[in-house]
């Protein structure tokens, strides 16, 4: 599973939305019905999945699906996923 | 009573160990079916009491969307579902009324115990950065009243009463006062409880309050029987839709009965033990009768608190004698439906109010099951083992909570 797919899966699960709604430009609060508590929990779910630590000042900027994907890529988590796959495979 | 606004019960909803529809629950109450079984919710093998009244036949998805479910402790699932059933049962369309005149008082004795346990585990295993942002709003006892208001847009009086096992009775009584005083025309009132987890069962076990008749679960809750050995913990919710009588009549609502009286007192004696003379409980009954303007001779049925603990059943029996007088105490029908449901703690008073309303509506008094050996300290008519068909005009419902809280409601046929 790619990083994009993984992120989408978490969003669908956490926010109870359809996969088709989870487009890169979709805003968690404006488009996906999240409130501020949902966004806190969502970031915790990303941290959990990617074994990352996302500081609050970064988390505040992660308001859209695309922003999360870009952020995780910039921290190298897409490569980490690839490595895990090859080491498992 | 003169000129006072009257309060009608026009809708009811229930989630319980005897089922989750009024018809199913009533049918089992009349047949005298026990809802007690071995605990399935967690591994209880190391606990002294391993039996409970767990909710059966409950489909949470029918009442609460998936995403919302995750934001609620089970006590809120039960309470929200029971509220929706009560609103549907009343046939009330809130959009047809001024919703600032509609309130909610659905309390809980303990609140979100499961979430407290789960989050404590998270904290101990993974540290302080992993708390869920939903922990506090899931846990707090008043959140349920808030959630119900959000569901229907009800902007009137809204809070939660907390008085342990008297919670729901106080909630219904205070709701009645809100309507009588003119602060609201409609109030959803009742209680919800979900204590069947390690903390709830362990805590009551430590008090030696629970029955340990683990080999015979359906026989374990035996109020007023000589061989009773403690209460059986249970879960669920019940909600009554209370409505100002004229408001109900104007919309042609079906009226189960009138909620006519309310009395509440405190023993001011001990944190958990009842005052042995039962004077506080007796005074609550007397106040409820006075409030309704009925005399002891008019009371047909008392749904007792009847927990199946040695002290409660003995003291409550004394209290009934004091409140009604020896002669009428021997004449009145008394039953404890906890013999079938177990003890729903903060929801018990609402479940038992619902029993009173149905007893009036159907003309049947449900029994106290498992009554086998008379106790000289409990020598009244507890409607043993078999339901009784009879006209029921006036009922009292007693609830007595840790803290010495006593509350009695008086229901009357309209």
In a domain, B3, yes or no: no
Q: Give the separation between CA A20 and CA B12, rounded to whole angstroms.
A: 40
In a domain, B167, yes or no: yes
Query: Any idea what the Cα angle at residue B230 is, between residues B224 and B231, rounded to 5°?
Result: 90
Name the helix (H) or strand (E) containing B189. strand B186-193
CA B31 vs. chain centroid, Å, equals: 20
In a domain, B387, yes or no: yes
Structural domain range at position B71: 8-250
Q: How far apart are the first and last CA of chain A?
A: 13
Please give the positions of B annotated as active site. 165, 305, 343
Q: Give the separation between CA B10 and CA B151, rounded to whole angstroms.
A: 19
Q: Of B225, B250, B275, which residue sits at a domain end?
A: B250
Spatial neighbors of B34 by CB under 8 A, at least 6 apart, are B217, B218, B219, B221, B339, B340, B369, B370
C-alpha to C-alpha distances, B213 to B91, B229, B232, B333, nearest whole angstrom: 43, 8, 9, 27
In a domain, B256, yes or no: no
Same domain, B160 and B276: no
Q: Of B205, B226, B250, which residue sits at a domain end?
A: B250
Same domain, B198 and B272: no
Predicted confidence (pLDDT) per residue in A27-52, tens digit: 999 999 999 999 999 999 999 999 99
The pLDDT score that the predictor gives to residue B1 is 45
Same domain, B326 and B184: no
Residue ranges in B230-306 assigned as alpha helix (H): 245-250, 279-292
Find the residue in A nearest to B134 (Cα).
A37
* Greater pLDDT, A88 or B242: B242
Quick check: B133 and A15 CB within 8 A?
A: no
Same domain, B219 and B286: no
Question: What is the CB neighbour count within 10 angstroms for residue B268?
Answer: 9
pLDDT tens string, chain B, 414 residues long: the values are: 457 899 999 999 999 999 999 999 999 999 999 999 999 999 999 999 999 999 999 999 999 998 899 999 999 999 999 999 999 999 999 999 999 999 999 999 999 999 999 999 999 999 999 999 999 999 999 999 999 999 999 999 999 999 999 999 999 999 999 999 999 999 999 999 999 999 999 999 999 999 999 999 999 999 999 999 999 999 999 999 999 999 999 999 999 999 999 999 999 999 999 988 899 999 999 999 999 999 999 999 999 999 999 999 999 999 999 999 999 999 999 999 999 999 999 999 999 999 999 999 999 999 999 999 999 999 999 999 999 999 999 999 999 999 999 999 999 999
Structure token digits, residue B336: 């404890």
Q: Which domains does chain A have, with CATH numbers?
A: 3-80 (1.10.1200.10)
- The distance of B139 to chain A (nearest Cα, Å) reads 15
Contacts A–B by Cβ distance under 8 A: 15
The pLDDT score that the predictor gives to residue A20 is 96
**B348-362 helix and B22-31 helix, angle to the nearest 10 degrees:** 80
In a domain, B255, yes or no: no
Same domain, B232 and B268: no
Q: Of B250, B282, B297, which residue sits at a domain end?
A: B250
Q: Is-contact B172 B259, C-beta < 8 A?
A: yes
Same domain, B126 and B196: yes
Quick check: B132 and A15 CB within 8 A?
A: no
Q: Let me know if B56 is exposed, middle or buried by CB neighbors in 10 A (0-12, 13-18, 19+).
A: middle
Structure token digits, residue A79: 């490569």
Interface test with A, best of B64, B65, B66, B67 (most A CBs within 10 A): B67
Q: Give the separation between CA B112 and CA B75, rounded to whole angstroms.
A: 7
Of B337, B322, B290, nearest to B18 by C-alpha is B337
Give the ipTM of the model, two decimals please. Answer: 0.85
Q: Give the separation between CA B120 and CA B114, rounded to whole angstroms.
A: 10
Same domain, B267 and B245: no
Find the residue in A nearest to B69 (Cα).
A16
B137 has a chain A CB within 8 A of its CB: yes
Nearest to B65 among A16, A37, A41 (CB): A16
Nearest to B132 among A15, A16, A41 (CB): A41
A15 has a chain B CB within 8 A of its CB: yes
Q: Give the separation between CA B140 and CA B218, rounded to whole angstroms.
A: 33
Strand order in the sheet with B405-412: B102-107, B186-193, B236-244, B7-15, B257-266, B405-412, B394-401, B301-303, B333-335
* Residues from chain B contacting residue A40 (CB–CB below 8 Å): 133
Question: What is the CB neighbour count within 10 angstroms for residue B59?
Answer: 8
* Residues from chain B contacting residue A41 (CB–CB below 8 Å): 132-134
Is the CA virtual torsion B180, B181, B185, B186 positive or negative?
negative
B132 has a chain A CB within 8 A of its CB: yes
Structure token digits, residue B245: 């009588």
In a domain, B1, yes or no: no
Nearest to A41 among B65, B66, B134 (CB): B134
Quick check: A44 and B137 CB within 8 A?
A: no
Same domain, B309 and B216: no
pLDDT over 90 at A88, yes or no: no
Domain containing residue B161: CATH number: 3.40.47.10
The pLDDT score that the predictor gives to residue B29 is 98
Same domain, B140 and B233: yes
Same domain, B216 and B289: no
Same domain, B244 and B284: no
Active-site residue (options: A31, A35, A38, A78): A35
- The distance of B346 to chain A (nearest Cα, Å) reads 28
- The distance of A83 to chain B (nearest Cα, Å) reads 26
- The distance of A55 to chain B (nearest Cα, Å) reads 11
Quick check: A37 and B130 CB within 8 A?
A: no
The pLDDT score that the predictor gives to residue B3 is 73
* Residues from chain A contacting residue B67 (CB–CB below 8 Å): 15-16
Same domain, B155 and B281: no
In a domain, B73, yes or no: yes
> Could you tell me whether strands B364-365 and B388-389 are parallel, antiparallel, or unpaired per DSSP bridges?
antiparallel
Nearest to B133 among A15, A16, A40 (CB): A40
The pLDDT score that the predictor gives to residue A89 is 47
Q: How many domains does the structure of chain B reveal?
A: 2
Interface test with B, best of A11, A12, A40, A53 (most B CBs within 10 A): A40
């Amino acid at each position: 599973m790619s990083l994009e797919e993984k992120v989408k899966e978490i969003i669908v699960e956490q926010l109870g939305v359809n996969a088709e709604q989870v487009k890169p430009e979709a805003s968690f609060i404006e488009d996906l019905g999240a409130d501020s508590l949902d966004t806190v929990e969502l970031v915790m779910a990303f941290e959990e999945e990617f074994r990352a630590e996302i500081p609050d000042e970064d988390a505040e900027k992660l308001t859209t699906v695309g922003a999360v994907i870009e952020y995780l890529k910039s921290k190298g988590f897409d490569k980490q996923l690839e490595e895990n796959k090859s080491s498992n495979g | 009573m003169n000129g006072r606004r009257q309060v009608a019960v026009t809708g009811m909803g229930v989630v319980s160990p005897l089922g989750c529809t009024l018809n199913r629950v009533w049918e089992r109450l009349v047949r005298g079916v026990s809802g007690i079984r071995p605990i399935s919710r967690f591994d209880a093998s190391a606990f002294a009491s391993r039996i409970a009244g767990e909710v059966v036949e409950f489909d949470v998805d029918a009442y609460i969307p998936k995403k919302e479910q995750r934001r609620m402790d089970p006590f809120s699932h039960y309470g929200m579902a029971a509220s929706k059933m009560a609103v549907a049962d009343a046939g009330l369309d809130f959009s047809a009324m001024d919703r600032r005149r509609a309130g909610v008082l659905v309390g809980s004795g303990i609140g979100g115990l499961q979430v407290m346990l789960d989050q404590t585990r998270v904290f101990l295993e993974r540290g302080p950065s992993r708390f869920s942002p939903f922990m506090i709003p899931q846990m707090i006892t008043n959140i349920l009243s808030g959630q119900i208001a959000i569901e229907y847009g009800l902007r009137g009086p809204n809070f939660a009463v907390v008085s342990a096992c008297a919670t729901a009775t106080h909630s219904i009584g205070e709701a009645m006062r809100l309507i009588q005083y003119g602060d609201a025309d409609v109030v959803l009132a009742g209680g919800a409880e979900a204590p069947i987890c390690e903390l709830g069962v362990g805590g009551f076990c430590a008090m030696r309050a629970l029955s340990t008749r683990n080999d015979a679960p359906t026989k374990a809750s035996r109020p007023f029987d000589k061989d009773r050995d403690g209460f059986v913990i249970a879960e669920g919710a019940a909600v009554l839709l209370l409505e100002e009588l004229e408001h109900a009549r104007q919309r042609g609502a079906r009226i189960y009965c009138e909620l006519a009286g309310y009395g509440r007192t405190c023993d001011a004696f001990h944190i958990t033990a009842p005052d042995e003379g039962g004077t506080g409980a007796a005074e609550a009954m007397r106040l409820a009768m006075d409030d309704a303007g009925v005399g002891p001779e008019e009371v047909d049925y008392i749904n007792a608190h009847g927990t199946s603990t040695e002290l409660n059943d003995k003291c409550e029996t004394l209290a009934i004698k004091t409140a009604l007088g020896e002669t009428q105490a021997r004449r009145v029908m008394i039953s404890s439906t906890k013999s079938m449901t177990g003890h729903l703690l903060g929801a018990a008073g609402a479940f038992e109010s619902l029993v009173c309303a149905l007893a009036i509506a159907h003309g049947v008094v449900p029994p106290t099951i498992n009554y086998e050996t008379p106790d000289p300290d409990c020598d009244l008519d507890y409607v043993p083992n078999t339901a009784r068909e009879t006209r029921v005009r006036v009922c009292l419902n007693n609830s007595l909570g840790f803290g010495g809280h006593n509350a009695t409601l008086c229901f009357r046929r309209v």
